Amino acid sequence: MKPIVLSIMKQLARIIFRALFGIFLFSIIIVIAYRYIPIPATPLMLTRYIQESEAINYEWTALKNINPELVLAVVASEDNLFTEHNGFDFEAIKLAHDEAKSGKRLRGASTISQQTAKNVFLWNGRSWLRKGLEAYFTILIEIFWGKERIMEVYLNCIEMGKGIYGAKAVAKQHFKKSPDKLTRAECARIAATLPNPRRFNSAKPSKYIKSRERTILKFMKNIHKVEFK
């Protein structure tokens, strides 16, 4: 190989390495910053606004200002091992993989930590790149945020209706009250819509959502309380 070609390749390698290191460093900084400051907006909010001209109904509120029953409801419905795993529920992932191979309907295997990482830092999609980045950011928030902060961000940023993001917005829009005043049943109903909050409305629940609400309320009785370590 000619010296000039080798020199160019070395320079290119250094540029790529510096760029990757810069991206890595920035990701650490932004994750640490979001440990302490409210999330200003998420990629999904901006995408909906740009592509669909959809108004953003989003108000940040501290976890202490949200009824703990909503925490219990989302854990019961979305991720009952939330306080025990390190970001990934490998048993659920294996079950989802086995069911997909057998031709059954795809089930969700993402934990609350994974959903939070995706909502705050990434775009929608099913590419391997996005899934890899989701795993990376999941590890980072588990390390730098901890479970209580992850739950706080999740309940503030997750889509809970068309143009509605977070517990405060959905409580005000659908129930005309603050999130700390939500009833146990209302919390279960909100959680029941989360798999598809743009299709299902917690203010006007369908028979299917009412059925899910009852199921979630039963699960909530089994869990009793969510305690952050």
- For 25, what's the count of Cα atoms within 13 Å in the CB-facing half-sphere? 6
C-beta of residue 151 within 8 angstroms of C-beta of residue 71: yes
pLDDT band, very low/low/confident/very high, at 180 (cuts 50, 70, 90)? very high
Read off the pLDDT of residues 219-228 as tens digits, 9 standing for 90 and up: 999 987 888 8
pLDDT given at position 210: 97
**Residues sharing a CB contact under 8 Å with residue 47, sequence separation 6 or more, in sequence order:** 123, 124
- Cβ proximity of 42 and 165 under 8 Å: yes
Q: What is the distance in angstroms between the CA of the first residue and the CA of the last residue of the chain?
A: 58
What does the block give as tokens for 129? 């790149």
The CATH architecture that domain 41-223 belongs to is Orthogonal Bundle (1.10)
Contact by Cβ (8 Å): 77, 216: yes
Print the SS3 string covering 86-113.
CCCCHHHHHHHHHHHHCCCCCCCCCCHH
Phi first, then psi: give them for residue 172, nearest 5 degrees.
Answer: -75, -45
* Residue the block writes with tokens 């598809």: 196
- Return the H-helix or E-strand segment holding 11: helix 3-34
Overall average pLDDT of the 161-167 stretch: 96
The per-residue pLDDT for range 144-160, each reduced to its tens digit, is: 999 999 999 999 999 99
pLDDT of residue 107: 46
The percent of residues above 90 in pLDDT, for the chain, comes to 76
* Span 186-205, average pLDDT: 96
Does the predicted model carry a pTM greater than 0.85?
yes
What pLDDT shows up at residue 1?
A: 58
Q: Which pLDDT score is estimated for 136?
A: 97
Model pLDDT for residues 90-141, shown as the tens digit of each residue: 776 666 555 555 555 544 579 999 999 999 999 887 889 999 999 999 999 9
- Measured CA to CA, the distance from residue 226 to residue 5 in angstroms comes to 60
Q: Following CA atoms 63, 212, 135, 152 in sequence, which dihedral angle do they give, to the nearest 10 degrees?
A: 0
Pair type for strands 57-58 and 159-161? unpaired
Q: For the chain, what are the domain ranges?
A: 41-223
